[in-house]
Amino acid sequence: MENADEMNHWQETAVNGKHYEWQLSNGHLWLPIDNDHLIETHYCQPGAKGITINFKHMKVFIEFDELLTQNVDLKVQRLSFLPQGQTEDIGWYFRDDQLWREFGSQSSNMQSSSISSGDVERQFTLNPRGSFNFTVCSSSYSLDFSSLRRNLRRRPKFTFNAESRSSTSASSSKLTGGGYRWEFMGDEGIWTEYKANVCSFDSAALERQYQLNPQGQHPFKIRGFSYTLDFSSMSQVNDTIGTRRAVRRTADSGSQQDSSLGTSPRWQFQDIGGMWKDYLNSKSSISSQDIERQHQQTPSGSMKFTANRFSYELNFSAMTQKNMSTTTTRSVRRLSQ
């Protein structure tokens, strides 16, 4: 039976809108991985093979198909917890002509399978070691759940929240130019910037559209495929096959939020003793830079984050931080450098 600490942890995490947790174990104890929404964002992309996590004294590569690490002494697991009666939205994907397509979508030969991800998941839930037979036009196929192959993947659907939208620490490339940079999550789990020579518009054009209507949508085409970029959910959807990708908007090096210029405002909270303390990634899931980016986007809004397994809400209008479990409220301030 789960102890009280574990139950409180799951409840705190659920309050934050997060229904999963990634953990590592050295063989003795399972510990949560900080900022695991970065892992989750990659894992939800069917084309992503894995991700490298940088810790203070080492790097750990997590292989997604088998959920293994390259370090034989470390084990990895992903836990999913949802309120009673709810189930996780799972996607089943097959490799078709170098692309990962979801069951039920149209394949490269313009044929659609007779089953959807939901159909496959229901059969898998009934018998994870069994098989499932289905047809596409006149051809018959069989899925053997006991030996999932490299051309078949089961991944959760990406869930959008403030934590995943505001994150920029997973960027693999340097920012260029001023303003904001717009990127989508590529097939291999790599953030890719929108380029005019590929999709007829770039980050600057997207930023102009966003400023006109932050809750709107932007339709576009690439190589004959139609897409819709939804600013409110920060996602890109393939209108033909239904594939959904995460999108992010990050402050470029020329903007006032760039910490390398030394001008980024500092965000602090008042602790129980009345002392002001900086937000640091080592103590919580966010830093001053993360908060400033969210504040620039929604100055009158709020953002949620976790620290020491507790969930908090930072209210920009009231300049307060609230513990979602204990309802304790603390003052917050923004200091210009």
| pLDDT (tens digit per residue) in 55-67 | 777 888 999 988 9
* Alpha-helix runs per DSSP H in the chain: 4-15, 37-43, 117-126, 162-166, 196-199, 203-212, 288-297
The percentage of residues in the chain with a pLDDT greater than 90, rounded to a whole number, is 6
Name the CA radius of gyration of the chain, rounded: 22
Name which residue leads in pLDDT, 214 or 194.
194
> pLDDT at position 178, please?
47
Average pLDDT, rounded, for the chain = 76
Name which residue leads in pLDDT, 275 or 89.
89
Question: Is the model's pLDDT at 18 over the cut of 80?
Answer: no
The closest of 23, 20, 46, 45 to 33, measured between CA atoms, is 23
Q: Report the SS3 class of residue 318.
A: coil
pTM above 0.95, yes or no: no
308 alpha-carbon distance from chain centroid: 20
What is the second-level CATH architecture of the domain 90-156?
2-Layer Sandwich (3.30)
Torsion of CA 109, 94, 17, 67, to 10 degrees: -160
> pLDDT at position 141, please?
81
| CATH code matching the domain that covers 266-335, chosen among 3.30.720.50, 3.40.50.1000, 3.30.590.10, 3.40.309.10 | 3.30.720.50
What is the second-level CATH architecture of the domain 180-251?
2-Layer Sandwich (3.30)
